[in-house]
Amino acid sequence: MENEENVKQIDLRLVFKRIGEHKKLFFITLPIVIALSSYIILCVPRTYKSETAMAPEASPSMDVGALGDIASSFGFDLPTGKSADAISPLIYPDLMNDNGFATALFKVNVQTIDKKINTSYYDYLKHHTKITWWEKAYIWALQKLSPKNTANFAPEKFNPYQLSKIDNDLVKGMRDNIKISTDKKTGIISIATVAQDPMVAKMLADATRTQLQKYIIEYRTKKLRNDVNHYQSLVNQAKKEYEKVRKEYGQISDADIDVVLESVKLKQNDLENDMQLKYNTYTTLMAQLKAADAKLQEHTPVFTTIQGAEVPVKPSGPKRMLFVLEMFISAFIILSVYVIRDILH
């Protein structure tokens, strides 16, 4: 046992001795690594992260899922019918994969913290976002090497599902900048956005939250809104018919006020009955319209902002000191392995 420890001690001494013999290599290489890694990381634009969170208020239909909540606390998933929607809150993060949802954020107005830039998010991404010099070189090389006849032609009218090559790249970058997540237990929806300007990051987080709320409301109330519109059209038609009969009845009553002919009385009675029928239809449809509107209001989701988006004070990345330290340690390990390679064998 002591012999093994002596061998290990001798090996460590040899290792440190060998490193000491090549200290000149370390003194030359490591400062170069520090300088190069510092230069590289300084070329990477700084980014800022803003976060916001919201939660839908519980509706009567959500109370049925109480048993499912209890079961989930024990690690079981039960089909409690907590939501009758085809889209589960758990897949809200996947909405960013839809070009229609993602490109709607292109229209969002953003402003930099110094107020020098005030434009759409699309224009900000396209013309005011910095990239590294090697990314510029890569893009230039791709453009030079790409065949001329493979241009991606986009339609004159913007179509989110038929994007140009440039717009498609912007959408991909935007998906990296916007992350949506849902807590399975609490139902809280969290949104995190990243931008090269702190104010843009904050405004983008607010816009994404608003866009997501709008999408959820439109989806969950689509059928109810169609019902309201349907009853509204029926009410308008019934009112129009009622007004027409009432006007006709009033005209014949005024014109034949002194006429006692049986035919005229029969016509008046018919118009009066028709007017009453039209009025009953109108009031019935009006009641149905009010009921449909009340149902729409009842089932319209209401969201509570749990965490408002803030203007970040400190950049979220890149971690410059950490990057340089990682490069320094990696270079030291590589050099050490190189100088003691014969000992390792």
pLDDT in tens, 281-314: 999 999 999 999 999 998 888 899 999 999 999 9
The mean pLDDT of the chain is: 83
Distance, in Å, from the CA atom of 282 to the CA atom of 232, rounded to the nearest integer, reads 11
What are 234-257's pLDDT values in tens digits? 999 999 999 998 888 877 766 555
Quote the pLDDT of residue 28: 94
Q: Amino acid letter at 251?
A: Q
Distances (CA, A) of 238 to 152, 223, 275, 286, 291: 53, 22, 11, 9, 17
pLDDT at 322 over 50: yes
What are 176-209's pLDDT values in tens digits? 999 999 998 888 999 999 999 999 999 999 999 9
Reported pTM:
0.75
Question: Which DSSP letter does residue 74 get?
Answer: T
Quote the pLDDT of residue 211: 94
Q: Is 17 exposed, middle or buried (0-12, 13-18, 19+ CB in 10 A)?
A: exposed
Which tokens sit at 30?
Answer: 């490591």
pLDDT at 65 over 50: no
More confident residue, 267 or 307: 307
For 86, phi then psi, to 5°, come to -75, -25
Q: Can you give 283-322 as a three-state secondary structure string?
A: HHHHHHHHHHHHHHHHHCCCEEEEECCCCCCCCCECCHHH
Distance, in Å, from the CA atom of 293 to the CA atom of 224, rounded to the nearest integer, reads 8
* Percent over 90 (pLDDT), the chain: 55
More confident residue, 183 or 74: 183
Q: Around Cβ 324, how many Cβ atoms within 10 Å?
A: 19
pLDDT at 163 over 50: yes
